[in-house]
């Protein structure tokens, strides 16, 4: 009978980080089982015309063979397309800017890893994410990784407690440079020199081209609309609201004699509001689809901060709950380019308290005025 408590399933991408995780866990005495998810085939990831599997799958298989570990390939392409890729397309079609990695972790990757862990009799699940874990008051919290340039805590706020309590993040206390050095020291010099993974794993081109390829009738569904100023005055035509995102300056293809930024997107009217950088600033933000570990802790935290995009600096804030379940966030200093669809992740220092999706901001100033009493001091 295999000892389940000493068996760990590793999500193997074939890259630097998951390779290091496999070696580390073996050294710590775990019996490692690898699973590589084949999610989306990108033509450039097939080095040979006769290749049946993408490069990352073959690299993971080669590493598993070299380390002598059990390895499986999970072909989840169809489900990935239906769940994650469709979400990505739908968000742009509704005027929001999606966070596919945030949705992929709880809805897809970690769920599939759990299924495979149960199937292969593994108590634990490990990935190459740069973050750590901490148990406090009966809850398990995600802690930022020690490498600020690689910290991935922002993407994991939707992970439920039952999955977090099975997770291991061996790289959380290391920098990327240290991980490369570790791999090289174990005889994997070529792997240690490998490149970084793509920001969105299923896109190797401009997202607008991806939308056109996988939603061929997008231009018929949406069609051209109007750029407008803050007073609603038409400034010129645009190609369709799905091709723009809040804060965008380049690629607008309109000459106004001064730099212009996307301030708001109105999918119902197919309008894109333009203005200067100062007009992107906001003291308040509305968020929805809230997932926090302990709501009382969130509302009472004296050192609460929020990160509104990956790699952005956390901004000190206060939070109040509205009657419809949304949260109204008040920044200690103005934030720029509040982007519907992106994640707002709440921190107490380096500890993730939870997160939410940034909502459309219509009416936020009125709500702020009506709820001033919820922000004493």
C-alpha to C-alpha distance for 192 and 180, rounded to whole angstroms: 5
C-alpha to C-alpha distance for 101 and 346, rounded to whole angstroms: 17
CA dihedral sign of residues 91, 92, 93, 94: positive
C-alpha to C-alpha distance for 369 and 31, rounded to whole angstroms: 58
C-alpha to C-alpha distance for 210 and 98, rounded to whole angstroms: 14
Beta bridge partners of 11: 35
**Which residue out of 104, 122, 131, 317 is catalytically annotated?**
104
Structure tokens at 146: 């020690």
Geometric angle at alpha carbon 273, from 271 and 278, rounded to 5°: 170
Beta bridge partners of 348: 304, 351
C-alpha to C-alpha distance for 220 and 222, rounded to whole angstroms: 6
Q: Do residues 126 and 110 lie in contact, with contact meaning Cβ atoms separated by under 8 Å? A: no
Which one-letter DSSP state was computed for residue 313? Answer: P
* 114 in active site: no
C-alpha to C-alpha distance for 259 and 289, rounded to whole angstroms: 34
C-alpha to C-alpha distance for 140 and 293, rounded to whole angstroms: 9
Q: Which residues contact 226 (CB under 8 A, 6 or more apart)?
A: 234, 235, 236, 237, 238, 270, 271, 272
The enclosing H or E element of 218 equals helix 218-221
Structure tokens at 298: 């969130």
* 131 in active site: no
How much is the CA Rg of the chain, to the nearest whole Å?
22
**Which residue out of 22, 201, 301, 317 is catalytically annotated?**
201
Where in the sequence numbering do the catalytic residues fall? 104, 201
């Amino acid at each position: 009978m295999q000892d389940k408590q000493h068996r760990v399933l590793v999500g193997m991408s074939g890259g630097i980080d998951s390779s290091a995780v496999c070696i580390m866990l073996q050294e710590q005495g775990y019996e490692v089982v690898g699973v590589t998810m084949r999610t989306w085939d990108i033509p450039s990831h097939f080095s040979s015309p006769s290749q049946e599997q993408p490069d990352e799958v073959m690299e993971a298989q080669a590493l598993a063979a070299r380390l002598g570990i059990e390895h499986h390939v999970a072909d989840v392409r169809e489900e990935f397309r239906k769940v994650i890729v469709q979400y990505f397309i739908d968000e742009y079609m509704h005027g929001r800017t999606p966070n596919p990695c945030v949705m992929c972790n709880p809805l897809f990757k970690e769920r599939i890893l759990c299924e495979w862990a149960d199937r292969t009799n593994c108590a634990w699940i490990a990935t190459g994410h740069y973050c750590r874990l901490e148990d406090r008051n009966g809850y398990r919290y995600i802690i930022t990784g020690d490498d600020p340039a690689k910290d991935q805590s922002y993407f994991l706020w939707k992970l439920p407690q039952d999955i977090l309590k099975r997770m291991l993040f061996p790289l959380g206390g290391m920098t990327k440079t240290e991980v490369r050095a570790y791999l090289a020291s174990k005889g994997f010099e070529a792997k240690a020199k490998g490149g970084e993974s793509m920001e969105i794993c299923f896109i190797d081109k401009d997202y607008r081209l991806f939308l056109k390829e996988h939603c061929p009738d997008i231009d018929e569904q949406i069609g051209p609309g109007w750029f407008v100023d803050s007073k609603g005055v038409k400034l010129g035509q645009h190609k369709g609201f799905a091709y723009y995102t809040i804060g965008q300056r380049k690629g607008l293809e309109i000459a106004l004699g001064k730099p212009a930024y996307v301030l708001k997107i109105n999918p119902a009217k197919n309008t894109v509001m333009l203005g200067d950088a100062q007009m992107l600033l906001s003291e308040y933000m509305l968020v929805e689809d809230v997932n926090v570990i302990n709501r009382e802790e969130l509302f009472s935290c004296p050192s609460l901060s929020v990160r509104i995009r990956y790699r952005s600096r956390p901004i000190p804030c206060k939070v109040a709950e509205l009657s419809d379940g949304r949260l109204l966030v008040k920044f200690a200093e103005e934030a720029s380019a509040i982007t519907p669809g992106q994640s707002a992740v709440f921190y107490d220092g380096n500890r993730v308290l939870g997160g939410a999706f940034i909502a459309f901001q219509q009416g936020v100033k009125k709500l702020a005025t009506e709820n001033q009493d919820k922000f004493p001091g």
